[in-house]
Amino acid sequence: MGIFSEAVDVMYSAQGEPAQLVWHGTVYDVAPHPLCWYERRPWWERDERLPPGTGVGAVDTQIWRMVLSDGGAPPFSLDVAHYRPAGRWRVIKVYDAEDSFRTDGALDGADDDPLEGEDIDPLDGVDDFCPGPGEGLDGA
């Protein structure tokens, strides 16, 4: 697994989810329903004030975990940050295929899941939690 930052281009599905990603000239298909969450930036370390209504992306960074395939090599996972309002996308973490998935497709460490046996849908509420492109935390 590596950690870095590299620019990519992302194309969306009709539902507003990432559908394809272009990285190093290769077009990858994104598996359905990529995971999305927000990470808080250290906004308190910046000594500037933003005008009202211009804070989208200043406090939180939208992160997507995607499973990619190009039809040839085994699928692999990566985390991509979506910087708004500029609309820039950057790969920030890459997981090797062997590190990300077992041969049965389950995530590594699934046997150690503390919620094993619980009737919980891990994607329940994901669509509500992560706004689509162009939507901000402030409802814009």
Whether residue 73 contacts residue 98, with contact meaning beta carbons closer than 8 Å, is answered with no
Please measure the distance between the N-terminal and C-terminal CA atoms of the chain and give it in whole angstroms. Answer: 35
Whether residue 19 contacts residue 13, with contact meaning beta carbons closer than 8 Å, is answered with yes
What is the model's pLDDT at position 96? 74
Model confidence at 86: pLDDT above 60 = yes
The CA distance from 52 to 140, in Å, is 13
Cβ partners under 8 Å of residue 95, min gap 6 = 1, 76, 77, 78
Query: Residue 53 is encoded by which pair of tokens?
Result: 């209504």
What is the model's pLDDT at position 99? 53
Predicted confidence (pLDDT) per residue in 87-108, tens digit: 899 999 998 765 544 444 444 4
Chain centroid to CA 140? 20
Query: Residue 84 is encoded by which pair of tokens?
Result: 């708004």
Using DSSP's 3-state secondary structure scheme, residue 126 falls into helix
Confidence of residue 129 (pLDDT cuts 50, 70, 90): very low
The CA distance from 26 to 118, in Å, is 40
What is the model's pLDDT at position 97? 64
What one-letter code names the amino acid at 133? P
Confidence of residue 47 (pLDDT cuts 50, 70, 90): low
Confidence of residue 40 (pLDDT cuts 50, 70, 90): confident
